[in-house]
Amino acid sequence: MADKTLRQIAGDGLWHNNVAFVQILGLCPLLAVTSNVVNGLGLGLATLLTLVLSNVTVSAIRNLIRPDIRIPVFVLLIASIVTAIELAMNAWFHELHGILGIFIALIVTNCSILGRAEAFASKNSIGRSFVDGLTMGLGFAAALVLLGAMRELLGAGTLFDQAHLMFGEAARTFRLTVFEDYKGFLLAILPPGAFIGLGLLIALKNVIDQRRASVPQPAPAAAELAAE
């Protein structure tokens, strides 16, 4: 564990040990909010911020904490951080906060955050924990955005609908109508569509991994890919 390079930590967070596709954690928000790209991005960024802050804080106090009270302390810290983020979102992204609503508060229950605090940040330096939180969060956010894009495209035929909720009025023009006169495919937007979509994305990741394992590649190139 201790001899992992930063690059390996990043590769794990983004790909090999991706929160959504490999650890299959945080499914409740993942499945519930990804009915379009903007919702996915909003929750992804909030989760990313939580992971980075909680990893850094836990790492900073790791030598202070006694093993028998570490879990309650972690939970307490994570809950405080999430509540602060929720208040900040309500203040600066009011409409998006209205849409994501309860799922911001539910970041607390995303096992990956306590998981990273316990498995990584409590045993590693602040810098390494920061990289771990950042890449794990980015990996999770990427999964949310991908699934959101897939469901929005299939379900409504658009991409980046309602982007103005996050980026201001100017972003209304971000909306891409990919299929004109699209009738919509309801299943993709409803909860079952989230399960099916996630299943397909996990399958896709496994296929890519198998391809890469069967074709021998020079080591640096493989590391390059992993860091993407």
Partner 1 sequence: MPLKKMLLSASLLGLFAVLGTSLVAFTYESTRERIAQNERDTLVHSLSALIPPEHYDNDPVTDSTAVTDAALLGSPLPQQVYRARKNGQPVALALTAIAPDGYSGDINLLIAINLDGSLAGVRITAHRETPGLGDKIEAARSGWVHGFAGRSLRDPLPEKWKVKKDGGVFDQFTGATVTPRAVVKAVRNALGYYQQHRDTLFDSGDATAAQQEAPHGG
Q: Give the interface with partner 1 as residue ranges (CB under 8 A).
A: 35, 61, 64-66, 68-69, 72-73, 76-77, 79-81, 83-84, 87-88, 90-92, 94-95, 98, 155-156, 184, 186, 189-190
| Residue closer to partner 1 (CB basis): 93 or 140 | 93
Q: How far is the CB of 148 from partner 1 (least distance, A)?
A: 13
Q: Closer to partner 1 at the Cβ: 79 or 223?
A: 79
Q: Tell me the closest approach of the beta carbon of residue 156 to partner 1, in angstroms.
A: 8
Quick one: 184 or 199, whose CB is closer to partner 1?
Answer: 184
Q: CB of 127: closest distance to partner 1 in angstroms?
A: 22
Q: What per-residue string of b and e applies to 5-14 under the rule 16 or more CB within 10 Å gives b?
A: eeeebbbbbb
Residue whose CB is less far from partner 1, 166 or 222: 166
Contact 59, 125 (CB under 8 A): yes
Single-letter residue type at 55: N
Specify whether the CB–CB gap between 190 and 212 falls below 8 A: no
Shortest separation between residue 119's beta carbon and partner 1, angstroms: 20
Cα separation values, 90 from 11, 26, 35, 54, 75, Å: 33, 22, 21, 20, 22
C-beta closer to partner 1: residue 186 or 225: 186
Q: Is 25 helix (H, G, I), strand (E, B) or coil?
A: coil
Q: Min. distance of Cβ 73 from partner 1 in angstroms?
A: 5
With H, G, I as helix, E, B as strand and everything else as coil, classify residue 153.
helix
Distance CA 90, CA 101 (A): 9
